[in-house]
Amino acid sequence: MQSKTRNFLAACATTLMLGAAPAQAGVVELEWVTTAEQFTGAVPGVAGEQITTTFRVDNGGSSLFSQTWSESDFLSYRIEGASGWFIESTFIDLGDSTGSFITNALGAVTAAGNWYGGYFSGASILTSWAGIMDGGWWNNGNNQVVCSTAFDCVWADNVGGNLNGANWTAASASDVPEPSTLAVLAIALAGLGYSSKRRKNAA
């Protein structure tokens, strides 16, 4: 009976581990990391802290390799600081955005798009400190990368860095297993360990 239980738990753990393996399909996250030059207005950041810009995109493909994402594949923009603040937007100006994010056969980003969203034209963005506000964001090689009002702005170091594909990374949004999957996996592995301990004690 113990052998059957042990085999069952082992099968469950194996199945869960396979299910938690990274998937390279669907939504992709393009990420650029730099430091903040300065903040103006109410943005609760600290000059010099690390800031991360993330685009979520989906071109309907099933790989990270040799891919192209144009502005029409845009899903969302997010910039966040190491101190905990963030700004998000699901709006992009398709008329003014140009260029594409491109990866090579190894999955490395080789080109970045000149993308733009909003800027007080009724396109709302979400801030961690004040909720939904008017504003805009720019991925155009300039230091000012996002503003939540006319004065609450984030300025980035590395001028032109966000138009250099080599500064970006691409990863499947499914690369990190869901928390619920990890929890069930932990339970299954704990059960397997308990069964093994009981077997040793009985010997």
DSSP 77-134: EEEEETTS-EEEE----TTT-B-EEEE-TTS-EEE--BEEEESSSS-EEEETTTEEEE
pLDDT digits (tens, 9 = 90+) for 49-98: 999 999 999 999 999 999 999 999 999 999 999 999 999 999 999 999 99
* Whether residue 61 is found in the same domain as residue 129: yes
Closest Cα to residue 184, out of 60, 20, 3, 5?
20
* Whether residue 142 is found in the same domain as residue 203: no
Q: What torsion, rounded to 10 degrees, do the Cα atoms 42, 45, 46, 50 define?
A: -150
Residue 166 has pLDDT above 50, yes or no: yes
> What domain count does the chain have?
2
What is d(CA 157, CA 47) in angstroms, rounded to the nearest whole number?
10
Structure pTM?
0.74
* Whether residue 94 is found in the same domain as residue 181: no
| Better pLDDT: 60 or 149 | 60
SS3 of 175, please? coil
* Whether residue 132 is found in the same domain as residue 192: no
Indicate the average pLDDT of the chain: 81
* Whether residue 115 is found in the same domain as residue 34: yes
* Domain extent for 182: 1-20+177-203
* Whether residue 84 is found in the same domain as residue 182: no
* Whether residue 40 is found in the same domain as residue 115: yes
* Whether residue 130 is found in the same domain as residue 183: no
